[in-house]
């Protein structure tokens, strides 16, 4: 039986990562979607993530997520497989990952919808 050697790419010790770094990484919609997908899939290669951007862009976002401490990436042959650092993140930032993965995506509003930003600004001004 042949064994596959895996190598983990460099990642920060989560004890040295600030919450702002993690939140900044999650602020990008594509990266947030990647984290949600990895939460559903468990782990996936770059090409295994169904995203509306080029593979090179996905690779860039995965690198950012890894460097911010959210994702671990291992080399499996020629493939880079990523997963969320769930247990480690829960120890460092209790509840954060649960909140991120459980949050409902925003629903875009129609620009002409009553009560939008313009209506809210008028209400606040007393009009």
Q: What is the pTM of this model?
A: 0.78
| Digit-coded pLDDT (tens) for 12-35 | 999 999 999 999 999 999 999 999
What is the reported pLDDT for 114? 53
What is the reported pLDDT for 10? 92
Judge contact between 73 and 81, C-beta under 8 A.
Answer: yes
Q: Which two tokens stand for residue 37?
A: 């997908």
- Confidence grade of residue 97 (pLDDT, cut at 50, 70, 90): very high
What is the three-class DSSP state of 62?
Answer: helix
What is the reported pLDDT for 108? 84
Q: Which two tokens stand for residue 117?
A: 């930003």
CB atoms within 10 A of CB 109: 10
Residue with token string 């090409």: 47
- Confidence grade of residue 123 (pLDDT, cut at 50, 70, 90): very low
């Amino acid at each position: 039986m042949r064994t596959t050697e895996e190598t983990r790419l460099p990642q920060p010790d989560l004890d040295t990562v600030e919450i702002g770094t993690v939140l900044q990484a999650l602020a990008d919609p594509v990266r947030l979607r990647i984290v949600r997908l990895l939460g559903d899939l468990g782990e996936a290669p770059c090409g295994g993530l169904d995203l509306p951007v080029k593979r090179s862009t996905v690779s860039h976002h995965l690198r950012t997520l890894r460097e911010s401490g959210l994702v671990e990436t291992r080399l499996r042959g020629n493939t880079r497989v990523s997963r969320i650092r769930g247990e480690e993140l829960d120890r460092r930032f209790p509840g954060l990952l649960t909140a991120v993965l459980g949050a409902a995506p925003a629903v875009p509003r129609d620009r002409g919808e009553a009560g939008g930003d313009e209506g809210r600004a008028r209400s606040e001004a007393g009009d």
